[in-house]
Structure 1
Amino acid sequence: MRKYFRYGVIIVIGNILLLWFFCLPRNLFEGVSYSTVVTDRNGELLGARVADDGQWRFPPSETLPEKFVKALIEFEDHRFYAHCGVSARAIVRAIVQNLRNGRIVSGGSTLSMQVIRLSRQKPRTIWQKVVEMFMATRLEARYTKEEILRIYASHAPFGGNVVGIDAALWRYLGDSGADLSWAEAATLAVLQNAPSLIHLNKNRNALLGKRNRLLSRLHEKGELSDDDYCLAIEEPLIGEPYPMPQYTPHLVEYYNKTAHGKHTTVHIDIALQERVEELATRWCQELRLQNIRDLAVVMVEVESGEIVAYCGNSDMSFEREGKWVDIARANRSSGSILKPLLYTVALQEGIILPETLLPDVPTDFRGFTPKNFDGTYAGAIAADEALALSLNIPNVHLLKAYGVARFAETLQRAGFVSLNRSTDKYGLSLVLGGAEVCLCDVVSCYARMAACYIDTTAYAEFPLRDRVALYHTFNAMREVNRPDQMDWRRATSVQNVAWKTGTSYGSRDAWAIGVTPQYVVGVWVGNADGSGVAELTGARIAGPILFDMLNLLSYSEWFAEPCSTDGVTLKVCVHSGHLAGRYCTDTKEVLLPRNSVKSLSCPYCKEFNVSLDGLRLITDRSEPTRAERYFVLPPLMEHYYKQQHQEYIPLPTKILTNDVAGSAFHFVYPSDGSIVSVSKQMDGMRGSVVCQVVHSLSTQLFWHLDDSFIGTTSNVHKMQIQPSLGYHTITVVDGFGSLQTISIIVK
Structure 2
Amino acid sequence: MRKRTRAVIAVCGILIAAYLFCLPGDLFKDTCYSTVVTDRHGELLGARIADDGQWRFPPTDTVPEKFKEAVIEFEDRWFPYHFGVNPVSVCRAAIGNIKAGRVTSGGSTITMQVIRMSRGKERTMGQKIIESILATRLELTSSKRRILALYASHAPFGGNVVGLEAAAWRYFGRPPEELSWGESATLAVLPNAPSYIHPGKNRDKLLDKRNRLLRRLHERGKLDSLDLALALEEPLPIQPVALPDDAFHLVEKYSKTAHGKRSRTSIDIHLQRQLQALTGQWNSEFSMTGINDLAAVIEDVATGEILAYVGNADPDRVRPGSDVDIAAAPRSTGSILKPILYCSLLQDGEILPNTLLPDIPVNISGFSPQNFNKQFCGAVPAAEALARSLNVPAVHMLRRSGVPKFLGTLRDCGIRSLSRSASDYGLSLILGGGEASLAEITSTYSKMAASYLCTDKAEFKGKGRLGGFPLTDKCALWWTFDALKEVARPDEIDWRMISSVHKVAWKTGTSYGFRDAWAVGVTPEYAVGVWVGNAEGNGVPGLTGARTAGPVMFDIFNLLPSRERTTAYSENGWFLEPAPSDGIEAEVCRESGCLKGPACEDSEILLLPAKAIATEACPYHRTIEGQNVFLLPPAMEWYYRQHHPEYAPFVPKERSEWPLMEFIYPESGTEIFIPRQLDGSVAGVTFNLAHRVPSAKVFWHLDNEYAGCTQYIHQMRMNPSTGRHTLTVVDESGNTLSVSFRISDGRKAFSPTLSSR
TM-score by length of structure 2 reads 0.88
CA distance in 1, matches of 2:13, 2:540: 80
Tell me the residue number matched to 2:229: 230
Counterparts of residues 150-549 of structure 1 (less than 5 Å)? 150-456=149-455, 458=463, 459-481=466-488, 487-489=492-494, 496-549=503-556
Tell me the residue number matched to 1:663: 659
CA distance in 2, matches of 1:686, 1:15: 97
The secondary structure found in structure 2 opposite 1:532 is: coil
Aligned AA for 2:532? V
| Structure 1 residue 699 displacement after superposition | 5.8
Equivalent pair of 2:267/2:306 in contact (CA under 8 Å): yes
Equivalent pair of 1:153/1:164 in contact (CA under 8 Å): yes
CA distance in 2, matches of 1:647, 1:316: 50
Aligned AA for 1:366? S
Tell me the residue number matched to 1:602: 618
> Structure 2 residue aligned with 1:584, among 596, 600, 624?
600
Tell me the residue number matched to 2:40: 41
Equivalent pair of 1:114/1:152 in contact (CA under 8 Å): yes
CA distance in 2, matches of 1:647, 1:228: 81
2:574 maps to 1:567: no
Tell me the residue number matched to 2:568: none
CA offsets, 1:648-679, max 9 Å, x none? 53x5x695669765323334344356566689
Q: How many residues align?
A: 718
Q: Cα gap change, 1:104/1:486 in structure 2, threshold over 3 Å: closer, same or farther? A: closer
Equivalent pair of 2:361/2:665 in contact (CA under 8 Å): no
Equivalent pair of 1:515/1:521 in contact (CA under 8 Å): yes
Aligned AA for 2:311? G
Q: Which has the higher contact order (CA 8 A, sep 6+)?
A: 2
Equivalent pair of 1:509/1:526 in contact (CA under 8 Å): yes
CA distance in 2, matches of 1:521, 1:682: 47
Q: Cα gap change, 1:218/1:684 in structure 2, threshold over 3 Å: closer, same or farther? A: closer
2:550 maps to 1:551: no
The secondary structure found in structure 2 opposite 1:192 is: helix
| Structure 1 residue 12 displacement after superposition | 1.7
Aligned AA for 1:594? A
The secondary structure found in structure 1 opposite 2:550 is: helix
Equivalent pair of 1:688/1:722 in contact (CA under 8 Å): no
Aligned AA for 2:536? D
| Structure 1 residue 291 displacement after superposition | 1.7
| Structure 1 residue 48 displacement after superposition | 1.0
Aligned AA for 2:232? I
Equivalent pair of 1:700/1:712 in contact (CA under 8 Å): no
The secondary structure found in structure 2 opposite 1:426 is: helix
Aligned AA for 1:553? L
| Structure 1 residue 379 displacement after superposition | 1.6
| Structure 1 residue 717 displacement after superposition | 6.4
Q: Cα gap change, 1:219/1:486 in structure 2, threshold over 3 Å: closer, same or farther? A: closer
| Structure 1 residue 479 displacement after superposition | 0.8
Q: Cα gap change, 1:112/1:127 in structure 2, threshold over 3 Å: closer, same or farther? A: same
Tell me the residue number matched to 1:613: none
| Structure 1 residue 562 displacement after superposition | 1.3
Aligned AA for 2:357? L
| Structure 1 residue 240 displacement after superposition | 2.7
CA distance in 2, matches of 1:345, 1:77: 69
Tell me the residue number matched to 2:10: 11
CA distance in 2, matches of 1:231, 1:113: 33
Deviation larger for 198-207 or 715-724: 715-724
Counterparts of residues 697-716 of structure 1 (less than 5 Å)? 697=693, 698=696, 700=698, 709=704, 714-715=709-710, 716=714
The secondary structure found in structure 2 opposite 1:309 is: strand
Deviation larger for 189-198 or 550-559: 550-559
Deviation larger for 522-531 or 316-325: 316-325
Aligned AA for 2:189? V
The secondary structure found in structure 1 opposite 2:415 is: coil
Q: Cα gap change, 1:449/1:166 in structure 2, threshold over 3 Å: closer, same or farther? A: same
Report % sequence identity.
49
The secondary structure found in structure 1 opposite 2:547 is: helix
CA distance in 1, matches of 2:249, 2:138: 40
Question: Which runs of 5 or more residues in structure 1 are unaligned?
Answer: 611-626
Q: Cα gap change, 1:28/1:633 in structure 2, threshold over 3 Å: closer, same or farther? A: same
The secondary structure found in structure 1 opposite 2:140 is: helix
Aligned AA for 2:192? N
Counterparts of residues 613-692 of structure 1 (less than 5 Å)? 627-641=626-640, 644=642, 647=644, 649=646, 662-672=658-668, 674=670
Aligned AA for 1:666? E
The secondary structure found in structure 1 opposite 2:623 is: strand
The secondary structure found in structure 2 opposite 1:26 is: coil
Deviation larger for 102-111 or 679-688: 679-688
CA distance in 1, matches of 2:129, 2:268: 50
Equivalent pair of 1:630/1:654 in contact (CA under 8 Å): no
Equivalent pair of 2:164/2:176 in contact (CA under 8 Å): no
2:65 maps to 1:66: yes
Deviation larger for 402-411 or 493-502: 493-502
The secondary structure found in structure 1 opposite 2:59 is: coil
CA distance in 1, matches of 2:492, 2:652: 36
Tell me the residue number matched to 2:754: none
Q: Cα gap change, 1:464/1:672 in structure 2, threshold over 3 Å: closer, same or farther? A: farther
CA offsets, 1:468-525, max 9 Å, x none? 211111111111128xx66243795655111221111111111112211111111111
Aligned AA for 2:508? T
Equivalent pair of 2:33/2:50 in contact (CA under 8 Å): yes
Question: CA RMSD of the aligned region, Å?
Answer: 3.0
Q: Cα gap change, 1:488/1:434 in structure 2, threshold over 3 Å: closer, same or farther? A: farther
Aligned AA for 1:195? P
2:96 maps to 1:97: yes
Equivalent pair of 2:336/2:507 in contact (CA under 8 Å): yes
Equivalent pair of 2:300/2:306 in contact (CA under 8 Å): yes
CA distance in 2, matches of 1:681, 1:213: 90
CA distance in 1, matches of 2:652, 2:117: 92
| Structure 1 residue 460 displacement after superposition | 2.6
Deviation larger for 728-737 or 54-63: 728-737
| Structure 1 residue 221 displacement after superposition | 2.6
| Structure 1 residue 721 displacement after superposition | 5.2
Equivalent pair of 2:491/2:551 in contact (CA under 8 Å): no
The secondary structure found in structure 2 opposite 1:583 is: coil
| Structure 1 residue 738 displacement after superposition | 6.0
| Structure 1 residue 637 displacement after superposition | 0.3
Tell me the residue number matched to 2:755: none
Equivalent pair of 2:651/2:692 in contact (CA under 8 Å): no
Aligned AA for 2:573? E
Aligned AA for 2:550? G
CA offsets, 1:566-612, max 9 Å, x none? 1111111111001112332221111111121222221111123x3xx
CA offsets, 1:220-278, max 9 Å, x none? 33222333233323333344322111212121111111111111112222222222222
Q: Cα gap change, 1:448/1:324 in structure 2, threshold over 3 Å: closer, same or farther? A: same
Deviation larger for 51-60 or 126-135: 126-135
| Structure 1 residue 356 displacement after superposition | 0.6
